[in-house]
Each structure stands twice: as C-alpha cells, then as structure tokens.
Amino acid sequence: MIYLDNAATSWPKPDSVPRAMAAFLREWAANPGRGGHSMSIEAGRRVLAVREKLAAFFGVRESDRVVFTLNATHALNLAILGYLREGDHVITSDMEHNAVSRPLTKLRQERGVEITIVPGAASGCVDPEDIRRAIKKNTRLVVLTHACNVTGTINPIKEVGRLLRELDIAFLVDAAQTAGHIPINVDEMCIDMLAFPGHKGLLGPPGTGGLYIRKGLHVLPLMEGGTGTHSEEERQPAAYPERHEAGTVNSVGIVGLGAGLDFLTEKGLEKISEVETELQERLIRGLNAIEGVSVHLANSPRVCTASFNMDGIEPQEVAYILDQAYGVAVRAGLHCAPWVHAAMGNAGRGSVRVSPGYFTSLEEIDDFLAAIQEIADERRR
C-alpha cells in the first residue's frame, strides 16, 4: 500500500511508538493519578513526562495548561463550547474543518453567539486586515486553522495573534495540519488556545490529542467527573489539568505520543519539513504536468497536502481506482470541510486529497503520479 492519507492520520508510525505502548501496557498501565501505589505513581509520572514534552514542543511555560484530549475535534469543542457565552461574537474563516464550524453553528443556533466568517479558502489564506475589520465590541474569540486540511495552504497566525493580543481578544488555533510539520510557539505567535491531534504530524496513535489553554482564560469543562484528586469537591476542580481531564486518560496512547514526539525532536522539525517540502514539490510539479488535472492553489505555500480534480471523472471514482487497481490510499470528497469547497466553487463535487508524510518515498510519489497519468489517459480514450 502506498499511503498518501497522512492528513487524516499519519502512518506508519516510528517503530518506537508501538514498542513504547506495548511495554507500558505490559509493565505500568495502572490508573495514573488514581492510587498511592508504585504502579499508579509510575504511570502518572510517565503521563506527566509527555505533558512536559508537549509543553516544551509548543513553547508553553506551564505544562499543567496542556490538557489531554481524544483528538483535535475534542480539543476544539472543549475550547469553543467552554469559552463562548451568550451574546459573544466570534470571527472565523471559510477555511475551517467542521470540528470548528459545527460547534460554532451549534452556538449560533442554541446560545445566540454571533459568527463572522472571513474569506481565505479561495485565495489560500486569510488577510489579517479582514479580521481587524470584522472586530466588534462583543468579539471575544477568533478561531483559525493554521493550515487548510483540503489544500494545505497556511494562515498568517503570528500576524493575527499579534493583532488580537493588542486588542485583548482570545485566539484559538487549530493546529491539526501543522503540529509536527512546521514550528509552533504559542508565546511568539500570541496563541491563547492551541488544539492539536496526537495522531497526525506528532506521530502518536489514534485516540490522542490535546489543548493548550493560556493561564487566565476561563474555559468551562465539557465533562465533569473523576480526577483522582480533590474528591471532596462537589463540582469539577479549578486546578489544571484535572479541570479538563475527567475520567481515566488514554495513558497507553499518551505514552505512544511521547515516543512520537521523541522521534520528531531527535530528527528535528527542520529535517522533517525539508523532507516533506521535497515530496510536495515533486507531487505538485507532477500533477500540474498531467493534462486534465487541476491542483487547487498549486502555487501557494503549503504543508505536505494538496487537493485536485480531474476532467471527466469524479473524485470518489479516482480514489476507488487508486485503491483497487494501484494500491494507493488517498481521500476523496469534502474532507469534513464544506465551507472550503463552497468557497472554491467545488461544493457539489469535492476533490481528491493527497497527503504524503515523512515516511513517504520519492519513488512512491512517482508511482502515484504514474497511476494518475494512466487514469487520465484511459479517461481520454
């Protein structure tokens, strides 16, 4: 299988990831933070070590402000539903995944939250000036994706962050497509909340993710319940990270995520980014050279993801042929981002998304391009 669906979840993982998970499960998988015995203490220590690694990775000073979640969707729901109140105004873009657009729409319908959607999908990125112009007296939050999950194009997070910090408006960034691919520093980028998956660029297993919440920001918990500490309190404790970690955390997954992070830091993000840039340049150059193929925003700066359409053949059919006849895994459709496709004039159709990863070889890109060439030739005949 040539796996080109890393934007959905990365595969393969470094060998150290399943190894660390199996060893932890075999030796130490007591309930972290739920007992005074040695196994529980050791499990808690290992979960804490990963929290500290994540904090260091994103330039977070207080690691207790990094809370573990199941995935990026969980993190985004926690941030959006926990922060916005009735009467608030929120600004977002048409580049968002529905892990952002759905909770926002729910708040508009159920809590009277006002939403302004600025453009970005058609041009490749939002213009910070559009955000400045959209700000109102009751604007309390701006939510932006760091990179579009359909086209891979990148938003100017630092510029928007600086603008919002001056105005004291909270900034939530969806780093689903950038964490582990390009550097993120929450201080330098003036990010107040950062939602990230553990299972994509950070190379951890499915079922992992997290949310950084800046100290001083008041975010209500999504769930209440067991934290292993503060048991005398009737409601969810105020202390972080327990406030947002009700119930037993996915310790096995978190340990795997720690191994993924170790791999990334050993290689260095610069090296990872260099490899991925070479892959995406070859991919886009190759696709552009095939008659009847149109790559969306082919010339924009991007992460290692691209979407395209082919003349005379639907995206789902392309993906099906690639899978069945060539053993190539890509994703077709709207990619959970209907706003993006609507803005690109592609609403009814969707696109084919190709997302290589660090472990993809240049030969695999060539094999994929040869398959697309054959499909295009066949269609013209």
Ligand X SMILES: Cc1ncc(COP(=O)(O)O)c(C=O)c1O
The set of catalytic residues is 336
Report in angstroms how near the CB of residue 202 gets to ligand X at its nearest.
10
71 binds ligand X (CB under 6 A): yes
242 binds ligand X (CB under 6 A): no
17 binds ligand X (CB under 6 A): no
Tell me the C-alpha distance between 18 and 140, whole Å: 41
Report in angstroms how near the CB of residue 360 gets to ligand X at its nearest.
18
338 binds ligand X (CB under 6 A): no
CA angle 94–98–99, rounded 5-degree value: 120
The string of DSSP codes covering 107-122 is HHHHH--EEEEE--TT
Report in angstroms how near the CB of residue 93 gets to ligand X at its nearest.
11
Judged by CB under 6 A, which of 13, 46, 89, 97 binds ligand X? Answer: 97
Tell me the C-alpha distance between 87 and 112, whole Å: 6
Tell me the C-alpha distance between 265 and 258, whole Å: 11
- Write down the H helix ranges in 184-289: 251-267, 269-288
Pairing mode of beta strands 139-145, 170-174: parallel
Under a CB-based contact definition with an 8 Å cutoff, are residues 236 and 222 in contact? no
- With 0-12 / 13-18 / 19 or more C-beta atoms within 10 angstroms meaning exposed / middle / buried, residue 164 is buried
Q: Which is nearer to ligand X, 147 or 369 (CB)?
A: 147
99 binds ligand X (CB under 6 A): yes
Task: Please report, as a single letter, which amino acid is at residue 93.
Answer: S
Q: Which stretch binds ligand X (CB under 6 A): 32-40, 67-75, 213-221, 244-252?
A: 67-75
Question: Going residue by residue from 179 to 218, which x/- string records binding to ligand X, judged by CB under 6 A?
Answer: ------------------x-----------x---------
Q: Which is nearer to ligand X, 4 or 369 (CB)?
A: 4
Question: Going residue by residue from 137 to 176, which x/- string records binding to ligand X, judged by CB under 6 A?
Answer: --------x---x------------------------x-x
Q: Which is nearer to ligand X, 10 or 63 (CB)?
A: 10
Tell me the C-alpha distance between 156 and 146, whole Å: 8
Which parts of this chain interact with ligand X (CB under 6 A)? 8, 71-73, 97, 99, 145, 149, 174, 176-177, 197, 209
